[in-house]
Structure 1
């Protein structure tokens, strides 16, 4: 149960890739949605621990978003609505019951959007240090996406890619699991290592959140039990941008952790314990999930 298998699903017109811990018949589906520039393998520490805790009672699937990892990389289709339809199309193929969405960074932003627009589809919502709902300025957006762009290389060696990533995330814990996720996000091209995420796709992801709030208006429509996890190492303004999700979603539970933005990789035991308690307490009855 602790090691995942690859999964490929043709859904919403594209071939989507992920890794899954299968679970048993009738298991409650938990979908893990990664952040910008990331991929499904960054969820390995959390997915493994949830699978070990719940066994056959949950089916945990970490998806590569369109344009990322080993999913297809079409030239267009990066609006929140189309990306939400990608996730919902996968959901429909995997189960006829509601899903628990666990989203990190941009994946949290997208998860909140799905939960607000399609509340009947979502049984539980976990937002892991979610992305800003809208950028406060073009300068702030440029600084973030420039850093993500630097992670796309080209690099002469994997060690060069690691050094670049460490400069961009000085507080992160660089475990073997994190290094595996970084390596999975790269491919060889012309004797160099480059990111699987195309730069033209990155530009579209930047544009979506630049001038309008696509998520905030839907937060009051979220009916699923919600857990919001916030990295306390962020500055006051950044913490406020994350806490805005909790202010918009009625009854959201908020927890703080002294980690980097990648808390599920930095402190996997703590995050898995907190998310596991949430699953067992709030949505476990859907599949008989107990503590």
Structure 2
């Protein structure tokens, strides 16, 4: 376990138990990190170790993933958004900056649009505007729809390794793969099905909080045009492009991401409270 990171469990009201990692000073600005498809809180471990202690960071593992409870249903983006608000209630966060990684940014922006009083700012790290129009995602679905338990490790390894432009630490990547394999085949299938069937562009509506968009120009899934859709839909948004970086900037450039998040939080006018 990395120094300065504690892991706890949160019982959501009328919902599952979610493990979550926590770092930073208790009096710091609350920041909630929201992981993406087939991931867990571990995806943010390099970032959690680099965020300044002035930020009180929480990284929950979502239902069905990692060591979280795995109910039979509830894997649509709107379901995961409800869980996210319930998580904030469970750990005593009134208002936070939400940081969504990959598809985790979808449920983060749903919360920002539907519960504006709970969100001080939004950071989207390699987050799609849409997914159903992406050929690479459709190729993944062709495999995922036929997955059976146990999920094949070679598939999970290829899925994770193909997201970056540069190699990341082997031990870290093995942990990410181990975590992804804790999700049963039905969770891989139903979560991706829901992402493909949901009108993701509609989830950009109503977001009025300051929003930072981070995109790597070597992203194998998302184009700059896709990110422009987000910028066009969210009034108070701006884009930072990471050159030479793939889909998961918080794996490849965690120190830079930590700095950009800290700068963004410092620039917010509103207050966040725990």
Whether the TM-score (by the shorter chain) exceeds 0.5 is yes
- Relative to structure 1, is the Cα distance of residues 15 and 87 closer, same or farther in structure 2, using a 3 angstrom cutoff? same
Secondary structure of 1:6's aligned partner: strand
- Say whether 1:143 aligns with 2:101: no
Give the gaps of 5 or more residues in structure 1: 187-194
- Say whether 1:253 aligns with 2:238: yes
For residues 93-131 of structure 1, give each alpha carbon's deviation from its aligned partner in whole angstroms, at most 9, with x where no partner exists: 223421110001110111111111111110110000103
Query: Would you say how many aligned residue pairs link Structure 1 and Structure 2?
Result: 267
- Say whether 1:70 aligns with 2:67: yes
1:59 CA displacement: 1.8
1:176 CA displacement: 5.2
The match for 1:189 is none
- Say whether 1:267 aligns with 2:253: yes
Taking the TM superposition and a 5 Å limit, the aligned residue runs for 1:227-246 are 227-234=212-219, 238-246=223-231
Secondary structure of 2:213's aligned partner: strand
Q: 1:110 aligns with which of 95, 107, 112?
A: 107
Tell me the TM-score normalised to structure 2 length.
0.86
1:211 CA displacement: 3.6
Give the gaps of 5 or more residues in structure 2: none
Higher-Rg member (1/2) = 1
Query: Distance in 1 between the 2:221 and 2:127 partners?
Result: 15
The match for 2:82 is 85
Query: Distance in 1 between the 2:264 and 2:143 partners?
Result: 33
1:252 CA displacement: 0.1
Query: Distance in 1 between the 2:164 and 2:56 partners?
Result: 33
Tell me the TM-score normalised to structure 1 length.
0.81
- Say whether 1:125 aligns with 2:127: no
1:140 CA displacement: 4.7
